[in-house]
Amino acid sequence: MPARDIYHNTVKSALQKDGWTITHDPFPLQIGKKRLSVDLGAERLISAENATQKIVVEVKSFVGHSDVKDLEQALGQYILYRQILNEMGIERNLYIAVSRPTFNSVFTIELGQILLKNQIIRLIVFDDENEVIVEWIPD
């Protein structure tokens, strides 16, 4: 099993505080003989629609030597996981969870903004000190 991100438990707690039930830790994927996993699977009841919203979340800390390299790696994982989810017929929205400082340093500049503007990725921004979600992009 791959090592967990340093914010894994923080994001798990933040999701639970936000009304999500953790269904998978980790969420298993398989394509052919290859097995992979996304960090978390979660769901919550949408009371107005009496339906369940389901997501999978890849937690990223961006603590490497280069924000650009970390972004490239996160984006590659995101695209791969999204394609495997589609191939497996799993209807869950995929998110990358990042801390507020990472969001501010990576996703508010042009490089990160093109990914958000063109809706290439979905983000969960969390406050790592208070273990709460501060923003869903897109919301």
What tens digit of pLDDT does each residue of 3-60 get?
A: 678 999 999 999 999 999 999 999 999 999 999 999 999 999 887 767 889 999 999 9
Question: In this structure, what token pair is assigned to residue 101?
Answer: 């400082």
Full 3-state SS string of the chain: CCCCCCCHHHHHHHHHHCCCEEEECCEEEEECCEEEEECEEEEEEECCCCEEEEEEEEECCCCCCCHHHHHHHHHHHHHHHHHHHHHHCCCCEEEEEEEHHHHHHHHCCHHHHHHHHCCCCCEEEEECCCCEEEEEECC
Residues 6+ apart with CB under 8 A from 58: 38, 39, 74, 77, 78, 81, 94, 95, 96, 97
Which domains are delineated in the chain? Answer: 8-137 (3.40.1350.10)
Q: So what's the pLDDT on residue 5?
A: 83
Contact between residue 92 and residue 41 where contact means Cβ atoms under 8 Å apart: yes
What tens digit of pLDDT does each residue of 61-120 get?
A: 999 999 999 999 999 999 999 999 999 999 999 999 999 999 999 999 999 999 999 999
Residue 132 — pLDDT band, cuts 50, 70, 90? very high
